[in-house]
Structure 1
Amino acid sequence: MLFSQKKLVIFAAFLISTFIIGIAGALQAPTLSRFLSYEINVGPVYVGLFYSINAMASIIGSFWVAKYSDKKSKRRDIVIFCCLMGMANSLTFAFTRHYFVLIMASLCFASLASAAMPQIFALAREYAVKTGRNVVTFNSLIRAQLSLAWVIGPPLSFALAVNYGFTTMYLCAVVMYLVAMLVIVSFLPIVDRNPVNALDIASLDVNPDIPLIKNKSVVFLFLATVFMWTANMMYLIDMPLYIDSVLHLSTSLPGFLMGMAAGIEIPVMLIAGYLVPYVGKRNLMLAAIVCGALFYIGLLLFTHEFALLALQILNALFIGIVANIGIIYFQDLLPTRIGVASTLFNNGVTCSVIIGGLMQGIISDWYGHHVIYSIALVMLIISFFFCLQVKSDK
Structure 2
Amino acid sequence: MFKPLILIWRDPALRMAAAAVMLVGCLAATMTPYQSLIAIRLFGLSDSAYALVLAVASAVAVAGSVGIGILTDQTAQRRAIAAWSAGLGIFGALLVLALPGKVSFVLAHALVLPLASSVFGQIFALARLASQRFAAADRDGIMAAVRALFALPFIVVLPLWSVAFDAGAGLLTIYAVLAALGLVLVRLLTAHWPRAGALAAETRSGLSLSASLAEMGRPAVLVRVALTGAIGSGVFMYMVILGLAFDAAPGRDIGDVAIFAGLIAGLEVPVMLSMGLLLARMGRLQAILLGAACYAGFLFAFPALLPTPWVWLLTIPAAVGGGIVLSLPIAYVQDLMGTRAGAGGALLAVQKVASDTLCAALFAVATWVAGYGLAAVLAGVAMLAAAFALILLDRPQLSKNPGPA
2:228 is aligned to 225
Whether 2:356 is the aligned partner of 1:383: answer no
Measured against aligned partners, the alpha-carbon deviations of 1:191-241 in whole angstroms (never above 9, x if no partner) come to 4265599xxxxxxxxxx998344452x333212222122332232133234
Q: CA deviation at 1:328?
A: 1.0
Q: When the two structures are superposed, what TM-score results if normalisation uses the length of structure 2? A: 0.81
1:22 is aligned to 25
Whichever residue aligns with residue 182 of structure 1, its letter is: R
Alpha-carbon spacing, 1:102–1:351, altered in 2? closer, same or farther (3 Å): farther
Contact 1:154 / 1:259 at 8 angstroms: preserved in 2? no
Which runs of structure 2 are paired with 1:120-135 in the superposition (5 Å)? 120-130=123-133, 134-135=138-139
How many Å separate the matches in 2 of 1:124 and 1:233? 25
Structure 1 residue runs without a partner (length 5+): 198-207
How many Å separate the matches in 1 of 2:322 and 2:130? 25
Structure 2 residue runs without a partner (length 5+): 1-6, 204-211
Which runs of structure 2 are paired with 1:1-394 in the superposition (5 Å)? 10-42=13-45, 44-94=47-97, 98-99=101-102, 101-130=104-133, 134-160=138-164, 164-192=169-197, 194-195=200-201, 211-214=215-218, 216=220, 218-244=221-247, 249-304=252-307, 306-357=309-360, 360=363, 368-391=371-394, 392=398, 393-394=401-402
* Residues paired across the two proteins, number: 380
The runs of at least 4 consecutive aligned structure 1 residues that moved more than 6 Å come to: none
SS of the residue 1:166 aligns to: coil
- Range 101-110 or range 312-321, more displaced: 101-110
How many Å separate the matches in 2 of 1:323 and 1:144? 9
1:202 is aligned to none
Contact 1:154 / 1:258 at 8 angstroms: preserved in 2? no
SS of the residue 2:222 aligns to: helix
Identity of aligned residues (%): 20
How many Å separate the matches in 2 of 1:67 and 1:213? 13
Alpha-carbon spacing, 1:132–1:379, altered in 2? closer, same or farther (3 Å): closer
Q: CA deviation at 1:155?
A: 3.5
- Range 58-67 or range 273-282, more displaced: 273-282
How many Å separate the matches in 2 of 1:212 and 1:150? 32
Q: CA deviation at 1:281?
A: 0.8
Alpha-carbon spacing, 1:7–1:235, altered in 2? closer, same or farther (3 Å): closer
How many Å separate the matches in 2 of 1:95 and 1:250? 36
How many Å separate the matches in 2 of 1:231 and 1:63? 24
SS of the residue 1:292 aligns to: helix
How many Å separate the matches in 2 of 1:215 and 1:196? 26
1:205 is aligned to none
Alpha-carbon spacing, 1:26–1:298, altered in 2? closer, same or farther (3 Å): same
